Amino acid sequence: MVHPYLENDPFFGRVFHGKLEDFLDNNKLDLLKWKLKSYRNRKAKLNSPKVIISYGCGAANRFLRKTYDLILFMDVTREEFVKRAQRRAIGFIKPKSSKVLDQVADVGLSVYLFKVSNYIYYPVLERYKRYILSRIDFYVDGNIVKEPKLVPRNVFEGILSILAEYPVRLKPLYIPSPWGGQWIKKIRKLPDSLVNCAWAFEAVTPEMSIKISVGKTFLEIPFLTFLLKESKKIMGEYAVKKFGAFFPIRVHYDDSMNGGNMAIQVHPPTSYVRKHFNERIGQDESYYIVLTGEGSRVFLGVKEKIDKNEFYEEVKKSEIEKTPLNYEKYVNSIASKPGDLFLIPAGTVHALGRNQVALEIGTIYGYTFHIYDYLRPDLSGKLRPIHPDHAFRVIKFERTSRWVNKYLKQPPRLIRSSKEWAEYCLGEHREIYYKVHRLEFKTRIDDDTNGKFHILTLVEGESIIVQSQKNPERKFKLKFSETVIVPACLGKYSIINLGNSPCKVVKVFLK
C-alpha cells in the first residue's frame, strides 16, 4: 500500500494521503470489538476482569472509539520520535531491500526511515491527532518513558487556551552538519559533544515543542498539538482561512562561522512539489545576515550569459566522476554584511557562504535540491548526495546577477518613525507570502498584530520584554538571539528594551 509512495525517487517520497484506519485489519477489529463487548457483558460475573485496557498506536480508532469508557492520548514530540527511531525503538514498515537502511539522511536517520517518517507516519498520525484530540478524556505527555504525565482534558485545554494569549518561545533544537559553525554553540553554551551547530531551530513549528512549568514538573507539548487546539488565537482568522491549522512560516539560524559553505542549491515552487511529492506548499526563503567574518558572501542567482546545458553537464560529471566543479563560473555571489536581507524565491540558485550567521526565514515545509556540495562527506563519513535532475527542472536561469541585484537585494524602506524608534521594510517579493521588517529603538516601540501573528527575533541588544498593552501580565522576556511568536490575538503590544544599548528586532509576518 505505501511502497509506491516511498520508491518514486531515491531521496524523496510522496505524501500518503490515507488515514490510520487504512492500516488496520477489519476482521481483527471486529473480533476485538466483540471481545470488548463480551467483557462488558460479563463484568458482574465471578473472575471476570474489572478493568480492560486497550493500548497501542491508534487503539481509539473510528471503529472502536465508542467502545471505551475513557480515552487517554499519549503524545510525543518529533524530537523524541526521531530519537526513538534512531535507536530502533519504534516499529517501522520494512523496506523491500535492506540496503536502503545504510544510506544516511541529514537528520541522522537512514534515508528509508526518513522517508517512512515524513511521507507516511507524520501525515497519517497528525491526521489522527486532529481527529482524536477533541474526543479524549485525558492527555498524556509521553516524552519521558518512565515519567508519563497525565492531565484531564479540561485542564489541558485550559492551559493551552491561556498560553495562546501570551507571547510564546519554543524549545530550541540544535543540529550539526559538515558545514556548520561555532557561533551558536558558543553563545548558547552547547555541549562539547556537539561538533558544531549548523541549524538552530527557533520557530520551525512542526519539529518543535513547548515546555510548560506545572508546579515542580513540566509538560512538553508538540507545537502542532497546541496549534490544533488554539489555531485561531495563535494564527488569526486570516491565516487559518488561508492555511488551515498549518503554521506557514519558519525561522531558524544558519551558522557557518568558522565553518564552510552551504551546498549550492535550489528550492522548488508549489506546482513542482504538488506534482512530484504530494506536498501543499513550495519553498521560498530569505537570509537575514546577523554576523559576518572574513570573506563572507551569499551565493544568489546565476551569472550573466552562462550556458545552462554546459552547467548541467558539468554538474552531472562531478556527480558521476567525483571531480570538483568550478561553481564560481556559473553561480553569482554578493558580499554580505550584518543587516542585509537576501530574498530567495523558489527557483533561485543560492547558498550561504562560510564565515557568517544568517537568520533564515521561509515557508514551512521545504525541499532542497543540491547542485554541488564540494565532494564533502556527511558527519557519518559518507559522501553527501546531490539532486541535479530535480534542480535543473526548477532553476530560473533568468535570475542573473543584474536581476538579483535589482529585485532580491533591496535597500531598507522606512515605514514609520520617531526620534526614539523606526520600522523598516527590508524586502518583499510578489512570490513570497510573508514580509520581513526590522524594528529599531532605544527604549521602547509599540506595535499591533492586527489579527496576524508576528515572529520576533532580537538580533541586536541585550534583552527585551514583549508585553501586551491591554493585559501587561501577558509578556515574555527575550534574550539576544532568541525568537518569540506573538499570537494574533495579542493585539497591541510593546517591546521594551531592558539593556543599555539600542535594540534591533527582526519582525516576520504574513502579507
Mean pLDDT, consecutive 10-residue stretches, the chain (511 aa), reads 88 94 94 89 70 91 94 96 86 69 63 89 95 97 96 97 98 96 97 96 97 93 98 97 95 98 97 95 97 98 97 97 97 98 98 98 90 91 90 98 97 97 97 97 98 98 98 98 98 98 98 95
Q: What is the CATH number of the domain that holds 486?
A: 2.60.120.10
Q: Determine the Cα–Cα distance for residues 245 and 248; give it in Å rounded to an integer.
A: 9
The continuous run of DSSP H or E covering 299 comes out as: strand 297-302
**Length of the chain in terms of residues written:** 511
Give residue 90's pLDDT: 83
Q: How far apart are CA 137 and CA 128, in angstroms?
A: 16
Residue with cell 547558498: 351
Q: Is residue 21 part of a domain?
A: yes
Last residue of one domain, picked from the residues 93, 120, 136: 136
- Distance (Å, rounded) from C-alpha 502 to C-alpha 211? 30
pLDDT at 161: 98
Helix (H) or strand (E) holding 82: helix 78-86
Number of domains in the chain: 2
**Residue 86 vs residues 123, 126, 244, 367: alpha-carbon distances, Å:** 19, 20, 31, 22
77's torsion region: left (phi>0), alpha (psi -120 to 50) or beta? beta
| Domain finish residue from 84, 118, 136 | 136
In a domain, 46, yes or no: yes
Q: Is 51 within a domain? A: yes
- Domain end among 119, 136, 153: 136
Cβ atoms of 272 and 283 within 8 Å: the answer is no
Alpha helices in 331-446 (DSSP H): 388-394, 401-407
Query: Do residues 5 and 13 make contact, with C-beta atoms less than 8 angstroms apart?
Result: yes
Q: Is residue 309 part of a domain?
A: no
* 321 secondary structure, DSSP code: H
104 near 380, Cβ under 8 Å? yes
Task: With respect to residue 265, please indicate whether it lies within any of the assigned structural domains.
Answer: no
| Each residue's pLDDT tens digit, 256-310 | 999 999 999 999 999 999 999 999 999 999 999 999 999 999 999 999 999 999 9
Give me the domain span that covers residue 484: 413-510
394 lies in some domain: no
Establish if 150 belongs to a structural domain: no
In a domain, 234, yes or no: no
Residue 45's SS3 state is: coil
DSSP track, 95-149:
PS-GGGGGSBPTTSSBHHHHHIIIIIIHHHHHHHHHHHGGG-SEEEE-SSTT--E
CA distance 375 to 372: 8
